[in-house]
Amino acid sequence: MIVLGTVLPHPPILLPQIAQGREVHVQATLNAYDAVAKRLQELNVQRALLISTHGIVTLNRFHTLRANLSGDFERFGHPGLTFEHDTDQQLVDAIVEAAQSADAPLTPTPLWEQSDHSVGVPITLLDDALPDQITIISISFRPPADHYQLGRAIGEALSTIDEPTTVIASGDAVHRLNEDSPKGPHPRGEEVQQQYETALANWDHESLVAIDESLRRDVDESVISPTLILMGALNHVDARPHILCSEHPWGVGYVTALVEIVRESS
């Protein structure tokens, strides 16, 4: 059963080995990560699904990792900084079966992107708060509504799992918020950032689906698709989102949120 959802940003600069002191500029995000880790431990989470934006991302299909995870931060100049995690094969099977029943194109694969920091950063920062095994799925370039529908299928699968389970949407928001952005500002960057945060706070997947896809590409965001999968997965429960932190050093939006699940008292 799903007991918690969360949205986590994944800039490698959150890691002190890479930031080398610059992490002081994202201290609020690091504090929010600590709050998420604490909540995972309080709920005794034993199963975890992590939604990746930088793994295997293709035009027409979603993917889930069948083998154990192993990667590094060589792309960011730190080949010795590595991450690894065992894969929850039972959860993979359940999700693949549910996706097939829903006619959602989800493919299990033994290979994954070695430098997937959308997985590596959350795994590194959450550390022992995560269960011993996790499951990873990727977004795709399919329409936004397809991400939500895949999430609904995943939610059905997770509802049959007895152990406390979390769904983690890993993604950075708009990368072109202001002049500090490495890619420069976009005149509608702030607008899309606010649309995202409002939709997340209101738990309004339709507003996210409605955001123009070409505009999303122009402002360079990577959080809407994983959030739509998260929203679909929590479609069958009473989800209460709470944004813990929103900050944008270096012109990039980092949003950290907890989505609590309200259950009827017996």
- Using alpha carbons only, what angle is made at residue 111 by residues 107 and 112, rounded to the nearest 5 degrees? 95
Coil, strand or helix at 125: helix
Question: Where does 113-254 have alpha helices with state H?
Answer: 117-126, 144-158, 189-202, 205-210, 213-219, 224-233
Are the C-beta atoms of residues 164 and 1 closer than 8 Å to each other? yes
Q: Can you give the pLDDT at residue 266? A: 42
Give me the phi and psi of 112, to 5 degrees please: -145, 160
Could you tell me the CA-to-CA distances from 14 to 57, 70, 161 in Å, in that order? 23, 20, 32
Q: Can you give the pLDDT at residue 264? A: 59
- Using alpha carbons only, what angle is made at residue 84 by residues 260 and 140, rounded to the nearest 5 degrees? 60
pLDDT tens for the chain, 266 residues long, are 999 999 999 999 999 999 999 999 999 999 999 999 999 999 999 999 999 999 999 999 999 999 999 999 999 999 999 999 999 999 999 999 999 999 999 999 999 999 999 999 999 999 999 999 999 999 999 999 999 999 999 999 999 999 999 999 999 999 999 999 999 999 999 999 999 999 999 999 999 999 999 999 999 999 999 999 999 999 999 999 999 999 999 999 999 999 999 985 44
Alpha-carbon gap, residue 220 to 222, rounded angstroms: 7
Q: Does domain 2-262 fall into CATH 3.40.830.10? A: yes
Q: Can you give the pLDDT at residue 174? A: 98
Q: How far is CA 127 from the centre of its chain?
A: 16
Q: How far is CA 208 from the centre of its chain?
A: 15
Residues in the chain: 266
pTM of the predicted model, to two decimals?
Answer: 0.97
Alpha-carbon gap, residue 145 to 97, rounded angstroms: 20
Could you tell me the CA-to-CA distances from 109 to 170, 224, 229 in Å, in that order? 20, 24, 19
H-run or E-run covering 24 = none
